Amino acid sequence: MAEGLLIVLSGPSGVGKGTVGKILAAEKEDLFFSISMTTRSPRPGEIEGINYFFVGEEEFKKKIEQGDLLEWARVYDDYYGTPKEVVLNSLKRGQDVLLEIDTQGAGMIKSNFPDGVFLFLLPPSLNQLKLRIIGRGTETEEKLNKRFNSAYQEILEAKGYDYFVVNDFPERAAQEILHIIRAEKLKMKRNAHLIEILRGDGCIQCP
């Protein structure tokens, strides 16, 4: 069985990764969304084990030492990381996995999973991005400024990704991502075994 596709989705704070992610989850039920671990405090409405696994700094550092994280990064003033085992098991089962992580973490994944698909969600403009972060109303002024400043820096790093998707409308952006996933899964390099099946007189897509 072919391994699942590892899809990495990055984008600056406030670009709408969460909203686009929810649409993807509804449209592609077999996609496994990795739930990250973080030392940041939950925002109102966020649920343990659904949005994040919220842990203390000591516990997070222990996970790093034990090699339990596939990647991790310090983003703003907190640690974020991807639990390793559940992701690797899903990929082995042939399930596609989506990681919604920052550019530092994506770099770590790229070195270990060169066959991953790296997507960057861009805002239609920087002004729109500012308005969205302010509109969310969940950050202190100091934190807002930190996020604005790093947004531009992060956008510069988008050049290293495979695809950009503009989040003008979340539904449209999600559809574009689904098209990319479909096309990636049809790449010959991921399907060389099908040629062998045909050569053996087998059937690869029988009615």
Residues that bind ligand 5GP (CB under 6 A): 13, 36, 40, 71, 73, 75, 80-82, 100-102, 104-105
User: Crossing angle of helices 170-185/17-27, nearest 10°?
Assistant: 60
Which distant-in-sequence residues (6+ apart) come within 8 Å of 168 by Cβ? 124
Instruction: Report, in Å, the least distance between residue 203 CB and ligand 5GP.
Output: 41
Helix (H) / strand (E) element for 10: namely: strand 6-10
Interior angle at CA 138, CA 136 and CA 139, nearest 5: 115
Looking at the Cβ atoms of 13 and 90, the one nearer to ligand 5GP is 13
Dig out the tokens for 187 from the structure: 């790449």
Q: Which of 65, 96, 69, 90 is nearest to 80 (CA)?
A: 69
Closest-CB residue for ligand 5GP? 105
Least spacing, CB of residue 92 vs ligand 5GP, in Å: 20
State which residue, 110 or 190, has the beta carbon closest to ligand 5GP.
110
CB-based contact 181:96 (threshold 8 Å): yes
Q: How far is the CB of 137 from ligand 5GP (least distance, A)?
A: 13
Q: In the block, which residue shows the tokens 């670009």?
A: 15
* Residue whose CB is less far from ligand 5GP, 4 or 11: 11
Smallest gap from residue 133 Cβ to ligand 5GP (A): 9
Residue number, 153 or 191, with CB nearest to ligand 5GP: 153
Q: Are 69 and 84 in contact (CB under 8 A)?
A: yes
Residue 95 CB, nearest approach to ligand 5GP (Å): 18
Nearer to ligand 5GP, 5 or 72 (CB): 72
